Structure 1
Amino acid sequence: MTEHPKDLAKIPVTVITGFLGAGKTTLIRHLMQNPQGKRLAILVNEFGTVGVDGDILKSCADDNCPVENIVELANGCICCTVADDFIPTIEALMAMPVRPDHILIETSGLALPKPLLKAFDWPAIRSRITVDGVIALADAEAVAAGRFAPDVAAVDAQRAADPSLDHETPLAEVFEDQILCADLILLSKADLAGEAGLQAARALISAELTRPVPMLAMTEGVIDPRVILGLNAGAEDDLAARPSHHDGDDDHEHDDFDTIVIDLPEVTDPESLAAAIRTLADAQRILRVKGHVAVTGKPMRMLVQAVGARVRMQFDRPWGSAPRRSQLVVIAEHADIDPAAIRKVLGA
């Protein structure tokens, strides 16, 4: 049988990286709704075992990106499980009866993109796939406030005012590695940052870059898909231009972070739950909370997403025949997480 030229062409892959809560899933939902005539496949890497992001994306599946084209990897950070999880998953996507035209990879918020790029040189896939581009999302409001943009002088000034501040936090290194690997940086939450915040975020990120990288503002994941898809960066062949704090390291440790899953009873007052999450952000330094909860008397499932003290809740779809199960994933730095205290505050 003669192979069609399309079957011989490399499948482009877009790697979407960014810190916890930067808006990666929201961006992918927008791309799914505006695929530019492409049949998409999506690989979602969660940090933890409960696939909240994958579930959100599967609820948006359609003919351009059917449910079977949305694959979740929850066995660990994608940059640490390349051989066991990533390579076999990519091979399975390429072997589907109808090949995808473009693959989107949503990394976990803690993933380093460069080890993932190196995986595209594996013999099993290097002639069949290419990295169209690495898109790094940065929460403009957070960056403008000086979080995860380690200007040493500024951090030292903050240290003088707050002796507990540690500018060697691994979160800063993760953030730097993500933006240094990017072909395009999207400043998310632009509406919350405002023009002054966007300018501050651009300046802080530009100070860390070692090469020119375009930066665009974005709100609610809305941006022209033509800007994202079709960069033709061939990023797997351009590793030297993408420095990493972990160059030369054999391992990328995540021992600094912990994830716990909290099962809750039905929620009678969503605002009380939001207040409890904000309390956790202040008292327990919780980085991220996400999940779904059942609200008493409501047939719709409530999606909960929080970044620090910023909490968003919305009803996303009916429970239908699915069990009305309230479950939240909580992510924090290892030194700060106290499961018993978290469960108590959330009323678990």
Structure 2
Amino acid sequence: MTRKIPATVITGFLGAGKSTLVRHLLENNRGQRLALIVNEFGDVGIDGDMLTTCDIEGCGKDDIIELANGCLCCTVADEFLPVMQALIERDLPPDHILIETSGLALPKPLVKAFHWPEIRSRVTVNGVVAVVDAEATAAGRFTSTPEQMARPDHDNPLEEVFDDQLLCADMVLLNKTDLVDDIALEKARRRIESKLRPGVKVIPTRHSIVDPVVVVGLDAAAEDDLDTRPSLHDSATDHSHDDFESFAVDLPEIADPDALIKRISSAIATHDILRLKGFLAVQDKPARAVVQAVGARIDRWFDRPWRPGEAHAGQVVVIGGKGLDRAAIAAAIRG
């Protein structure tokens, strides 16, 4: 009997470090043929672009499949299943499949999809790994205040998504521990552990660095114990992301990246921006710059040289609560 191909679902809120974990796993694949399905919230894929150009040995462009413009938990039948079928029907199927969900995805509907007859006999969910931002969790970003909970119309979509990701997890990576002190780290751990199923381990990490064997060796067969993975959305007939939206801002080549970062910081502080990420073209620089923002935290680095003939232009994706003032945000970023 043919062994089922293990698939690891990597979930976690926006900016927690999922793509960093994926890259770490790809770079340390130990000779395995890995395939990656990466999904992003919005029309423009930033993480997928960075991974397809990573030049990691043994991981070709055909092994990284990007599904943008949506969320896998909402597009299982139309997008996810055809991709999975194509992977397992290859002449040389992958040894392991990594699935990076968008930061706003619910993992349970995706795990349910592994019951579909087309893939059930060929693939198993080796485990659901949730990556958590220690600093954001300790700061209470995903926790309702007592005043909010007392309101009859209380609704916290951030908390609901975060909790659903934890409730489905087989392992949690408490990431970015280098950004918090011991007191905040313990606070974040307690917040997480209060939501987990019995036996789910929490592993502190920095930059999503963890022994790959720990992540891909869970052997959880998660599709077979869905009843033990409660979800706040189990009773819902449909899951939508109407509470969130995203859009892209095109940027010309810039002369002063520090000034741009200040404008981005100001836009984040003024508007309900949860996440900003994208690429920049800096004058007289031979490499493309990456900008990543989670809350008020902004990082910038150069990721690769510009290719011959490639347009030196930038673009950032903005993700936030519904009702973003797109025109005002775009104007503030462009200056």
Same fold (TM over 0.5): yes
Contact kept, 8 Å, 2:148 with 2:154, in 1: the verdict is no
Work out which of the residue numbers 291, 294, 297 in structure 2 matches 1:307: 294
The DSSP-based 3-state class of the residue aligned with 1:125 is: helix
What code does the residue aligned with 2:130 have?
A: A
Give the equivalent residue in structure 1 for 2:141.
147
Q: Does 1:269 align with 2:263?
A: no
Q: Does 1:330 align with 2:318?
A: yes
- List runs of 5+ in structure 2 lacking aligned partners: none
The DSSP-based 3-state class of the residue aligned with 1:79 is: coil
- List runs of 5+ in structure 1 lacking aligned partners: none
What code does the residue aligned with 2:172 have?
A: I
The DSSP-based 3-state class of the residue aligned with 2:279 is: strand
The CA deviation string for residues 124-156 of structure 1, in whole angstroms up to 9 with x for no partner, is 000000000000011001101111134xxxx11
Contact kept, 8 Å, 1:79 with 1:111, in 2: the verdict is yes
Give the equivalent residue in structure 2 for 1:124.
118
The DSSP-based 3-state class of the residue aligned with 2:162 is: helix
The DSSP-based 3-state class of the residue aligned with 1:131 is: strand
Report the Cα offset of residue 208 of structure 1: 2.2
Match runs of 1:174-213 below 5 Å: 174-213=161-200
Identity %: 54
Contact kept, 8 Å, 2:288 with 2:306, in 1: the verdict is yes
Report the Cα offset of residue 262 of structure 1: 0.4
Give the equivalent residue in structure 1 for 2:70.
76
Work out which of the residue numbers 80, 84, 91 in structure 1 matches 2:85: 91
Q: Does 1:241 align with 2:243?
A: no
The CA deviation string for residues 8-53 of structure 1, in whole angstroms up to 9 with x for no partner, is 2110000000000000000111111111321100000011111110
Report the Cα offset of residue 159 of structure 1: 8.3
What code does the residue aligned with 1:332 have?
A: G
Report the Cα offset of residue 82 of structure 1: 0.4
Contact kept, 8 Å, 1:300 with 1:315, in 2: the verdict is yes
CA distance in 1 between partners of 2:197 and 2:56 (Å): 40
Give the equivalent residue in structure 2 for 1:29.
23
Work out which of the residue numbers 36, 44, 47 in structure 2 matches 1:50: 44
Report the Cα offset of residue 158 of structure 1: 7.8
CA distance in 2 between partners of 1:101 and 1:179 (Å): 27
Report the Cα offset of residue 195 of structure 1: 2.1
Q: CA RMSD in A?
A: 1.7
CA distance in 2 between partners of 1:93 and 1:132 (Å): 16
Q: Does 1:223 align with 2:210?
A: yes
Report the Cα offset of residue 59 of structure 1: 1.9
Q: Does 1:156 align with 2:164?
A: no
What code does the residue aligned with 2:334 have?
A: G
